[in-house]
Amino acid sequence: MIDLRSDTVTKPTEAMRRAMAEAEVGDDVYGEDPTVNRLEELAAEMLGKEAGLLVTSGTQGNQVALLTHCRPGTEVILERESHIFCYEAGAAAALAGVQLCALPGRRGTLSGDQVAAAVREDDIHAPPTALVCLENTHNRAGGAVIPLAAMEEVYQVAAGRGIPVHLDGARLFNAAVASKIPAREYAARADTVQICLSKGLGAPVGSVLVGPAPWIAEARRWRKRLGGGMRQAGVIAAPGIIALQEMVDRLAEDHQNARYLAERLAELPGFLLDPAEVETNIVVAEFTLFPVEELVASLEARGVRIIAFGQGKVRLTTHKDVSRQDIEKALQIIKSVATS
């Protein structure tokens, strides 16, 4: 099976499995797991922040961030296609009790002017604007890299009004590798950042939330409330350390494979996409010949997994467990299904 549904399907490497087996552990709720502490320090250091917090998933990281930054009845400005808005099961409303102000971005990018116009007046009728959320790379925008300059613009607008910025950096290292700009430069344009260890970086579980030390202390309390206080979590943190130390640079290979896949796909009948827009490991294409659900099912039956992505589109994601050879094979199968 060639699984292009997501980079979340990646399996831990041999080195990760060994590190899990050998991890030095303690009770992390007491702050006594040395491996978790090392991972949190490493992530904070790589992103230029004071402290880190291991969380169970990207969703938990983003939701802990909303809960820590906001109070119920306040408003969060974000992009209309962002993960927090589209894919977190309404958690922002269900848990933090915040209202979301979703703005249409240009391939995921919001401008400073858009954000400035969306910030609420200090008026008794209005929900106070409590937070701006950005996402880099932007999943629904096809893995687009949000330019550093755009992040800077938004950060300045927010900072000028005393509003913090949270970055959903589930795939921030993809942005860093593609743009050759260090992840900490992007992180410097946000107050808090969530990074995923379990996507292209290949770790089996976990994300790290980073930010100022007092803020992380409060986030730790929210993680506990959500049932995310874990015990001998060093077995999860150990492969996370390998993810950050050894798996970042190789993301370039996934990006080359995605671009190649996009170029070949664009030559096939029925697939509409601009390969030049594929900057990282996600390829989103419109398919026009028959319903995408049929395409997905036929491919599945022939050993290729992709996902329907709404509005007649499909998403194909490259990662460490698909080689160039797998991509070639997948393309042959896609061609035979699309032209049958």
Residues making contact with ligand TLP (CB under 6 A): 6, 8, 57-59, 62, 83, 87, 135, 139, 168, 170, 196, 198, 207
CB closer to ligand TLP out of 35 and 317:
317
CB closer to ligand TLP out of 170 and 273:
170
CA gap 19, 297 in Å, rounded? 38
We find the least distance from the C-beta atom of residue 191 to ligand TLP, in angstroms, to be: 17
We find the least distance from the C-beta atom of residue 213 to ligand TLP, in angstroms, to be: 24
CB closer to ligand TLP out of 168 and 279:
168
Listed residue (108, 96, 39) closest to 62, CA to CA: 96
Please answer whether residues 56 and 205 qualify as being in contact, where contact means their C-beta atoms are separated by less than 8 angstroms.
yes
CA gap 292, 62 in Å, rounded? 30
Query: Crossing angle of helices 14-22/234-246, nearest 10°?
Result: 140
Amino acid identity of 104? Answer: P
We find the least distance from the C-beta atom of residue 249 to ligand TLP, in angstroms, to be: 21
CA gap 173, 154 in Å, rounded? 20
CB closer to ligand TLP out of 59 and 74:
59
We find the least distance from the C-beta atom of residue 269 to ligand TLP, in angstroms, to be: 27
CB closer to ligand TLP out of 63 and 119:
63
Residue nearest to ligand TLP (CB): 58
We find the least distance from the C-beta atom of residue 197 to ligand TLP, in angstroms, to be: 9
Please answer whether residues 211 and 167 qualify as being in contact, where contact means their C-beta atoms are separated by less than 8 angstroms.
no
CB closer to ligand TLP out of 29 and 87:
87
CA gap 3, 317 in Å, rounded? 8
CA gap 29, 35 in Å, rounded? 13
We find the least distance from the C-beta atom of residue 248 to ligand TLP, in angstroms, to be: 17
Contacts of 67 (CB under 8 A, 6+ apart): 95, 96, 219, 222, 225, 226
CB closer to ligand TLP out of 17 and 305:
305
CB closer to ligand TLP out of 35 and 57:
57
Residue count (the chain): 340
We find the least distance from the C-beta atom of residue 161 to ligand TLP, in angstroms, to be: 25
We find the least distance from the C-beta atom of residue 57 to ligand TLP, in angstroms, to be: 3
CA gap 74, 96 in Å, rounded? 9
